[in-house]
Structure 1
Amino acid sequence: MTDVIAQRDHSERTAGEPAGRPASLIPVPLMRGISFLSFYDRFATPPMLVLLTRAEGVSLNSTVQLVTVYVLMYALGQPIWGLLGDRLGRLKVLRVALVGALIGSLASIIAPSFGALLVARAVTGFFIGSLFPNMLTVVGDSYAGAARAREISGLQTFTALGTTVAMLAAGGLAVWLNWRVVFGVTVAGTAVFLLALRPVKPPGAKETVRHEVRSAFTAWPIWTYLLGVLEGAILLGILTYIVPALERDGLSTAVAGAVGATYGIGVIGGAFLARLAVAGIGRTGMIAIGSATLFTAFLIAALSQSVGALVVTAILIGTSNAFLHSSLQGWATDVAPAARATAVSFFVASAFLGSSAATGLTGSMTEHGYQPIFEGTCVSTVLLGGLAVGSHALWSRYHAQ
């Protein structure tokens, strides 16, 4: 069995990538903590929108812009952070991003007006956007094959925890204490991580991979970005409709949000299963299982929009995230080892683009209910699964030679 795993690890290592792996540049608990914080901050504002509307004396349409500008700057920053990571080094960019997130979060806390808060959240989104792709890149630099997949699943578990904590606790903190306390958590976290990074040193010259940014724009990397657009549209974009579908049938916002948070339970459980499965079935098998799980999730939603059905759908989407999304992210760390940070950042940006496009294109369909959206997504998932499984199997065969 060990020989089989070793052969698979070799087949999933990009040609020209060094066989020897340095120890992780950043301690694993620190990487997971940073991943948790990045997703906590990313999902902390939506639960507070109604409260912020009252506290700041503005319309709900205005407070929604806090999320819009944050996500926009998060997405637009991806190519910039990727290029900087390959040019300046992972550790230097990580420290800059943490300092920027610290400053942006402090500015959010002391913002004297809604306009100042809007600017502060945009700045924070730009810098927070660097953190998780940077962690993925470090994992790609430090591990190969099944070990890399397990570490990515570990990061995904903590991003799911961050998402779930934000969705369940941010609103409560804002109501019981003050909405500024929610952003104070990010301030405290970034400060702690900056201190924890002080003793960490960049790799020595012998361990440094030569970075050739152009390799991130060859055929295979571009193909993974295209898959990222399609997967982001299906998995992340249509996920947005789970909570509105529940609210449409009279469920309260709080209860609907709690049901939506079961997505995080699916990610956590799925990540545990994925770590157990990856050595035995490889990444192509992981993509196949994740695609089938995603199809099942939306098939259930297409057949029924009851609370029970949508709870199962949310959990299965989370499980699919752990198998499918983490596997595609892992592939993105492989396709351009000489420009890994750039490739990972463009993949993340592609998923964001797909998510935004999906909600933009399907928004008008909600007038007729959510069943047509879920039905169309089932068909799209079959296309995604076929393309992703087939192309990864081809890529693995080519790079095993």
Structure 2
Amino acid sequence: MRAAGFLSFYDRFATAPMLVLIIKEEGVSLYSAVQLVTVYVLLYALGQPVWGLLSDRLGRLRVLRLALVGAVLGSVASVAAPGFAALLVARAVTGFFVGSLFPSMLTIVGDSYTGAARAREISNLQTFTALGTTVATLTAGALAVWVDWRVVFAVTAVGAAAFLVLLRRVRLPAGGGTRHDVRSAFTAWPLWTYGLGLLEGAILLGILTYIVPALERDGLSTELAGVLGAMYGVGIIGGAHLAKRTVARVGRTVMIGIGSATLFVAFLLASLSQSVVTLTVTAVLIGTSNAFLHSSLQGWATDVAPAARATTVSVFVCSVFLGSSAATALTAGMTRHGYGSVFAATCAATVVLAVLAVGSHAVWSRRTGPIGASRTQV
């Protein structure tokens, strides 16, 4: 399960480091090459609700196998693409299928674990997704230069095929008699978590995009800026370790508060100074916040509508991606004269997120009574 999370984030972040090489080999413009990332992320995000609905209707393993078959075919098509247009289509298809892997894993965790055990498994899953992100960021470009950029996509094909073989022996725990009701994914509390996902995605992932460009503006090479920006993954790994040790003691509401405070400090530092040291620390703190804040909101999403868990998780993930894209689009014009104003505005938005997320989760926990009180440990 954790390795599948690694693979999904490896494939998602592997294309960007290879864009310069693809531009040279395929003879396309930078604008065209960037579309490889754009169409992948777009299909990745828009496919989330589809996979969630199918998972609640058809079952977790059936949908997971279908997604892995699609990931194999899409990756093989990426390797064999005879031209840029074919490669663009292949990456879009791959993004659609790979987009099912992480929400499927998150849903299975929600089905299989309760209480603090669920929180620990979500943290473990986050650790492996962070490793996937870091490995892709640091090695995809090198593999493309030393061997061939097609090898990077071949890794996904081999990995997905291996998981298909392993899944033949997997049996999921019984669902405990939970009645499936997809409509429950669109009641008040799930809709509220989707709204929080939009805001959190905008702040945490959308503005994270500017860390590497801000480092390059300070005079660093693209390679070194990428390495320092990848400290975000180090923050997630370290934060996940801390989160696993903390969650059983303080509960989810406090975890959301800790993550929000960490995110506030990260962007406060970045708004005051865009030095190399400060931005590197900011990247680490954003990763640490991810381990506390994002994992807690994900845990809430697995719990807020048990009768439609896969749908709820998938729509939440989609909301996070849409928020990330919207933030980048809305703030792009603010970067013409530097990044300080973007980080300052994000710092203020983090306060709003903290108040809404901490306050609403506390209310939800009280209203769900003894069950909710135990779930606060998730």
**Which range, TM-score by smaller chain?**
over 0.9
Match of 1:340 in 2: 309
Give the counterpart of 1:198 among 156, 165, 168: 168
The letter for the 2-side match of 1:150 is R
- Determine the C-alpha separation between the residues in 1 that align with 2:178 and 2:357: 28
The letter for the 1-side match of 2:360 is S
* Mapping 1:79-158, distance limit 5 Å: 79-158=49-128
- Determine the C-alpha separation between the residues in 2 that align with 1:131 and 1:209: 22
Per mean C-alpha deviation after superposition, the further-off stretch among 322-331 and 139-148 is 139-148
Match of 1:394 in 2: 363
Structure 1 position 209, deviation (Å) = 2.4
Match of 1:263 in 2: 232
Cα pair 2:106 2:302 within 8 Å, conserved: yes
- Determine the C-alpha separation between the residues in 2 that align with 1:400 and 1:287: 20
Structure 1 position 77, deviation (Å) = 0.2
Give the counterpart of 1:250 among 219, 223, 227: 219
* Mapping 1:143-292, distance limit 5 Å: 143-203=113-173, 207-292=176-261
Aligned-partner SS, 1:210: coil
Question: How many correspondences in the alignment?
Answer: 370
The letter for the 1-side match of 2:289 is S
- Determine the C-alpha separation between the residues in 1 that align with 2:51 and 2:177: 18
Match of 1:67 in 2: 37
* Mapping 1:252-401, distance limit 5 Å: 252-401=221-370
Cα pair 2:40 2:93 within 8 Å, conserved: yes
The letter for the 2-side match of 1:156 is Q
The letter for the 2-side match of 1:110 is A
1:27-72 CA deviation, whole Å, 9 max, x = no partner? Answer: xxxx000000000000000000000000111111111000000000
Aligned-partner SS, 1:198: helix
- Determine the C-alpha separation between the residues in 2 that align with 1:303 and 1:314: 15
- Determine the C-alpha separation between the residues in 2 that align with 1:285 and 1:113: 51
Match of 1:50 in 2: 20
Asked whether 1:41 is paired with 2:11, we answer yes
Structure 1 position 203, deviation (Å) = 4.7
**Structure 2 unaligned residues grouped into runs of 5+:** 371-378
1:90-109 CA deviation, whole Å, 9 max, x = no partner? Answer: 00000000000000000000
1:295-324 CA deviation, whole Å, 9 max, x = no partner? Answer: 000001011100100010000000000000
The letter for the 1-side match of 2:355 is G
Match of 1:19 in 2: none
Structure 1 position 144, deviation (Å) = 1.1
Match of 1:11 in 2: none
1:131-168 CA deviation, whole Å, 9 max, x = no partner? Answer: 00000000000111211111000000000000000000
- Determine the C-alpha separation between the residues in 1 that align with 2:311 and 2:51: 8
TM-score by length of 2: 0.97
- Determine the C-alpha separation between the residues in 2 that align with 1:188 and 1:329: 29
Structure 1 position 368, deviation (Å) = 1.6
The letter for the 1-side match of 2:107 is T
- Determine the C-alpha separation between the residues in 2 that align with 1:203 and 1:165: 32
- Determine the C-alpha separation between the residues in 2 that align with 1:360 and 1:183: 28
Structure 1 position 202, deviation (Å) = 4.8
Cα pair 2:112 2:173 within 8 Å, conserved: no
- Determine the C-alpha separation between the residues in 2 that align with 1:326 and 1:390: 17
How large is the RMSD of aligned CA atoms in angstroms? Answer: 0.9
CA gap of 1:288–1:135, structure 2 versus 1, over 3 A, is same
